[in-house]
Structure 1
Amino acid sequence: MIAGLVSVTFRQLTPAEIVSLCADAGLEAIEWGGDVHVPLGDLRTAREVAARCADNGLAIEAYGSYYRADGDFGPVLATALALGAPRIRVWAGSRGSAEEPNRAGVVEDLRRTAELANGEGVEIAVEYHANTLTDTLDSALDLFAEVPALRPYWQPPIGSTVEDALTAVPALDPVAVHVFSWADDGTRLPLAARESLWQPVLAALPPDRHALLEFVRDDSPNAFQKDAATLKTWLPTR
């Protein structure tokens, strides 16, 4: 598997600092966030970040947008193309599957979005997340059946058990997982604290998928370095 970082883990750092952290930790890829590091529509910054990654041997895993199937997707796609991102992460609406009054509209927007991106050789991936149409496994699977061009991400919901994870991950077959350890109350833990969850999850994924660190303790670069070292011990040698 390919180990990397979600850049919004460190909103307080510059892209240059994040690239340096990842290179020093021996990671291989970065998902760049669209709120701080590669702002929507800032094509110059997108190109600069792409060049910095290339200079340091780091792949761009995705453009992590905050598009919620509710507006003009054009600037999102243009920014991702300037960044050289092969994938754009979006959100499946703004309400949970039980509360969304216009599921058909969200689905249709995601279908259109995927078609536009695919036409430029870019994938669309949807985060597995509360308050969206992917808030439950059943709803997520329905969405991917309705829009086959979408690709899944996965991350463990708060309180997720190993059994929950080993049901969801094979069913979704995600292109990437966001890797972190939380207690049931949302307290951030060292990644190693949830080895019993992550070891089987990572073993269940094909070797070409991305494992992206996120949500480190205290937003600390030192905690990140320790978590990166832990993650690398869990991944097969390539």
Structure 2
Amino acid sequence: MSDESASADWIDRTGICSVTFRRLAPPALVDVTAAAGLRCIEWGSDIHAPADDPRALDEVRRYTLDAGLTVSSYGSYWRAGERSSSPSIEELVSGAVRLGAPRLRVWAGSVGSAECPTPQRNRIVADLRRAAEVGADSGIRIGLEFHRLTLTDTVESTLRLLDEVGHDNLATYWQPRVDEPAGDAIEGLRRLVDRVCAVHVFSWWPFAERLPLTDRADLWRGVTALLRASTRPMDLLLEFVPDDDPAVLSREAETLQSWLSP
């Protein structure tokens, strides 16, 4: 495969998480995504695509496809190990099917790996194994949010968790951890990359201050180079742009796509 063809395959997987613009109605969000030259959307279950609203799911899917975009995934806030987590994993998988999403994003509990008692960790593992099975029955891949205050707060805990669940239908997202230096983040991704199904792309520094991608070019140039050298094309989804401003999306998309070109 030529460098140009490989680059096009990666660019075809660039998109946005709908939570980036929670205040936009789905048609407007689709319009700004398409205008920015992005190719796919991860629709969130909290605002734009509730699992218990079939009409909303149908409309969001139609808006997306009519614009020539694809639904990359269904972003949920279901947390393994929490009995009160609603909607259920079955409802969310059904919602993903209706939405036309090949993947459902879930969370590995709500406590950090260093603080999580063994019985609670075991419940999370069991719930994730069941989620992977439910998803597999419907052809929906399950991806873990890679996030602090969960069992995916470190590379080590994430790898351990995936091994404990032991199901081929479970993988993990990746994103830079808060306040993590670029070199450490890239090395963590290198260790995890074989288990990663998608990447959330944003530039925060320090902590949660939202910056243009170019302000952390050392991080994202290194990430995109590592991904292109190590794995097949996967979804690279922009999230949390500066000031939550739709007007900067085209700039951020152009920056990301430039790092995927030869």
C-alpha displacement of 1:43: 1.4
1:218 — aligned with what?
243
Which residue of 150, 165, 178 maps to 1:132? 150
Unaligned 5+ residue runs, structure 1?
none
2:179 — aligned with what?
159
8 A Cα contact 1:41 1:78, kept in partner: no
Structure 1 moving runs of 4+ over 6 Å: none
Deviates more, 1:108-117 or 1:39-48: 39-48
TM-score, length of structure 2 as denominator length: 0.87
Q: Aligned partner of 2:162: which letter?
A: F
Which residue of 168, 190, 195 maps to 2:217? 195
Which residue of 28, 38, 56 maps to 2:67? 56
C-alpha displacement of 1:207: 4.2
- Report percent identity of matched pairs: 46
C-alpha displacement of 1:7: 0.5
d(CA) in 2 for partners of 1:73, 1:182: 31
8 A Cα contact 1:5 1:30, kept in partner: yes
Q: How many residues align?
A: 237
Q: Once the two structures are superposed, what CA deviation does each residue of 1:87-108 show, in whole Å capped at 9, x if it has no partner?
A: 0000001111122221000000
8 A Cα contact 1:62 1:86, kept in partner: yes
User: In angstroms, what is the RMSD of aligned CA positions?
Assistant: 1.2
Q: How does 1:102-181 map to 2 (within 5 A)?
A: 102-147=120-165, 148-149=167-168, 150-173=170-193, 174-181=196-203
1:42 — aligned with what?
53
Query: Is 1:19 the equivalent of 2:54?
Result: no
8 A Cα contact 2:51 2:57, kept in partner: no
Q: Aligned partner of 2:98: which letter?
A: A
Q: Once the two structures are superposed, what CA deviation does each residue of 1:90-144 show, in whole Å capped at 9, x if it has no partner?
A: 0001111122221000000000011000111110000110010001111011011
8 A Cα contact 1:134 1:140, kept in partner: yes
Q: Once the two structures are superposed, what CA deviation does each residue of 1:8-37 show, in whole Å capped at 9, x if it has no partner?
A: 000010111111011101101100001000
Which residue of 116, 135, 144 maps to 1:100? 116
d(CA) in 1 for partners of 2:186, 2:239: 20
Q: Equivalent residue of 2:77, what SS?
A: coil
Q: Equivalent residue of 2:91, what SS?
A: helix
Q: Aligned partner of 1:13: which letter?
A: L
8 A Cα contact 2:177 2:185, kept in partner: no
Q: Equivalent residue of 1:226, what SS?
A: helix
8 A Cα contact 2:37 2:250, kept in partner: no
Deviates more, 1:203-212 or 1:20-29: 203-212
d(CA) in 1 for partners of 2:232, 2:126: 32
Unaligned 5+ residue runs, structure 2?
1-9
